[in-house]
Amino acid sequence: MKKTFEITATDPESSARTGIIHTEHGSIQTPAFAPVASQGTVKALSHSMVQNLKAQLILVNAYHLYLRPGIEVIEKMGGLHSFVSWPGPILSDSGGFQIYSLTPLVKVKDDGVEFSSHLDGTRIFLTPENVIDIQMALGTDIMMLLDYFCPFPSSKKDTKQAAKITTEWAKRSKSHLQKKRFTRQLWGICQGGIHWEIRKQSIQELMAIDFDGYALGGLGIGESKTQFLDMVEQSDSILPKEKPRYLMGIGYMKDILQAVEKGIDFFDCVLPTRNARNGTLFTHTGRLVIKNKKYERDERPIDEECTCYTCKNFSRAYLRHLYERQEISSSILNTLHNLHFYLDIFRKIRHAIQSNSFRQLKYSILNKIEEGEQV
């Protein structure tokens, strides 16, 4: 079978590395950032805009698409790539996280999870097997298994139980997929909260099953930065070097840079796109809240160093006007900028690792960006 991941450079000073994930719809240079397109569209952009930003893939949510328009519709349309007309790689999240965070009356049973649809209350029963079937019907390039998510804080006992069920489901997912002879990738999701012994065991059990990639789940949900970084660092020490590692849902630039340093290859987060719609813009010198009165007559672009369409053409004053008028073009232009900002930093990260200057880049970015500070 074709190799799905290769490492192209390693940072001599840290665990940072660059690599290539190969998929049937193209390759993904890592470290990579996946723009979130839960419903099959990056919010507030057309695909052509996402392509112009040189996004390498999009991330969809299997749970949302399963509910609407439904798997049958997407199959009838020739699969998800064809239905949404996205030619590049697509990763589908299983929706495990959404089940636990969006839906009422969740009951985890041995063979799966039962819950009420967040839309109309219909009882739904998802199993490791049917979550694989759903993603196979979507035909996405990278599938995520159904995990049992544990909120923060959770007791050791609950965390252990969640990790145990996740392992059990992981085994069933893998064996179900093997029966189907489907060649797309399946990545595992490790649980364990902030309890290293539990997370360690979760990782080891998943490694024993053998997945194409390993995701760290259940982080960035309320634990301290120290706890978070400790988990990432310890995971790095036991995860197989030759497989891609995915830190789910983490989007603050500081966390991303530190995680790359600890060997993480893959990220996704709604932060750049959601914040854009709310008028919070990322710049090389911190955040800018476009509705602020002080930008009313500000002729400068959002970020003077930025080369995106928005920054090359429009002033803060105009963008503030569009935001205040609740114009849709405000969401478009702001999202273009924020996503460009993220993807551009990832390009710089990859370039820096390949030229042995990652730590230098990291400090130069972090010295200027202080999360929460305003321009």
The set of catalytic residues is: 93, 268
How far apart CA 232 and CA 248 sit, in angstroms, is 11
Nearest approach, Cβ of residue 267 and a copy of itself (Å): 23
Strands 58-61 and 90-93: parallel
Rg (CA), the chain: 20
Residue 189, number of CB atoms within 10 A of its CB: 29
Nearest approach, Cβ of residue 271 and a copy of itself (Å): 17
How far apart CA 128 and CA 140 sit, in angstroms, is 16
Residue among 148 and 323 whose Cβ is closer to a copy of itself: 323
What crossing angle do the helices spanning 225-238 and 253-261 adopt, rounded to 10°? 30
Nearest approach, Cβ of residue 115 and a copy of itself (Å): 20
Residue among 134 and 190 whose Cβ is closer to a copy of itself: 134
Nearest approach, Cβ of residue 20 and a copy of itself (Å): 27
Nearest approach, Cβ of residue 45 and a copy of itself (Å): 7
The angle subtended at Cα 371 by Cα 367 and Cα 375, nearest 5°, is: 80
User: Which two structure tokens, joined as six digits, stand for 181?
Assistant: 């002879």
- The answer to whether the CB of 235 falls within 8 A of the CB of 201 is no
User: Which two structure tokens, joined as six digits, stand for 234?
Assistant: 């310890």
| 301 prior amide bond cis, ω within 30 | no
Residue among 201 and 335 whose Cβ is closer to a copy of itself: 335
CA dihedral 204, 241, 34, 100 (to 10 degrees): 10
DSSP summary character for residue 67: H
Nearest approach, Cβ of residue 15 and a copy of itself (Å): 37
How far apart CA 196 and CA 133 sit, in angstroms, is 32
Residue among 67 and 375 whose Cβ is closer to a copy of itself: 67
- The answer to whether the CB of 280 falls within 8 A of the CB of 288 is yes
231, amino acid identity: M
Chain centre to alpha carbon of residue 23? 17
Residue among 4 and 273 whose Cβ is closer to a copy of itself: 273
Residue among 306 and 332 whose Cβ is closer to a copy of itself: 332
Nearest approach, Cβ of residue 103 and a copy of itself (Å): 17
**Which residues here bind a copy of itself, judged by CB under 8 A?**
39-48, 68-69, 73, 76-78, 83-85, 296-297, 299, 309, 313-315, 317-318, 320-322, 324-325, 327-329, 331-333, 336
**Burial status of residue 49 (CB atoms within 10 A of its CB: 0-12, 13-18, 19 or more):** middle
Residue among 235 and 331 whose Cβ is closer to a copy of itself: 331
Which residue has 């590049």 as its token pair?
Answer: 88
Pick the closest to residue 197 from 155, 239, 234, 154 (CA basis). 234
